[in-house]
A = this chain, B = another copy of it.
């Protein structure tokens, strides 16, 4: 298909498609004349992944990381998922001042260790715990146990549903499932708390 049809089918403007071509996150089309190229279904799928990443707030550098994984898919599925996940992970940042021990203890309770995760992911847990500590807020132990158990179950369910059709589909699922689903989870938790309170204490 011509670039105009690729634009119409993907909903991405011609100018933006040309930007992705220049940034080399979308491969060149097949040249059919000195001024024209033709594009295939693979370009359409790739555009879908790029738009999903961009809509999820991933910058062009993160997009390039994911694309690099798609073009040289690692032998292990966990590396594929890991690279997609790393592209939307918080940067490692400065961890020199950060006490990682409480975060690593939570990792162990989830059945994993530091080797399973990216440093940025562990640092994010450590930072969240440090914020609670500074505010003088201690999560009661049964609540922390509930977080570990139920977030573990959620992760298992999410992973079990990863599409296996193509690397593009898997990456799209991981990237969007990680980032776009977060506001839903937080909103659902607040609603669930309110429902639990109504059930326990009745309506006001």
CA distance A80 to B195 in the complex (A): 14
If the complex has contacts A78-B204, A184-B128, A188-B125, are A196 and B135 also in contact, measured as CB distance less than 8 A? no
Q: A191-202 CB contact bits vs B (8 Å, 1 = yes)?
A: 111111111111
**Are B147 and A188 neighbours in the complex by a CB distance under 8 Å?**
yes
If the complex has contacts A85-B194, A154-B189, A195-B110, are A129 and B160 also in contact, measured as CB distance less than 8 A? no
User: Which of A28-36, A93-101, A112-120 lies on the face that meets chain B?
Assistant: A112-120
- Could you list which residues of chain A lie within 8 angstroms of chain B, going by C-beta atoms? 48, 51-52, 55-56, 74-79, 81-82, 85, 89, 106-107, 110-112, 115-118, 121-122, 124-125, 127-129, 131-132, 134-137, 139-140, 142-143, 145-161, 172-173, 176-178, 180-204
**Are B155 and A192 neighbours in the complex by a CB distance under 8 Å?**
yes
**Are A135 and B74 neighbours in the complex by a CB distance under 8 Å?**
no
CA distance A155 to B191 in the complex (A): 9
**Are B197 and A135 neighbours in the complex by a CB distance under 8 Å?**
no
**Are A117 and B195 neighbours in the complex by a CB distance under 8 Å?**
yes
**Are B178 and A190 neighbours in the complex by a CB distance under 8 Å?**
yes
- Most-contacted residue by chain B among A75, A151, A153, A193 (CB, 10 A): A193
B residues less than 8 Å from A187 (CB atoms): 121, 124-125, 127-128
B residues less than 8 Å from A182 (CB atoms): 186, 189
Which 10 interchain pairs have the tightest Cβ spacing?
A112-B195, A79-B204, A146-B157, A155-B192, A78-B201, A150-B150, A128-B184, A124-B187, A140-B161, A76-B204
B residues less than 8 Å from A116 (CB atoms): 191, 194-195, 198-199, 203
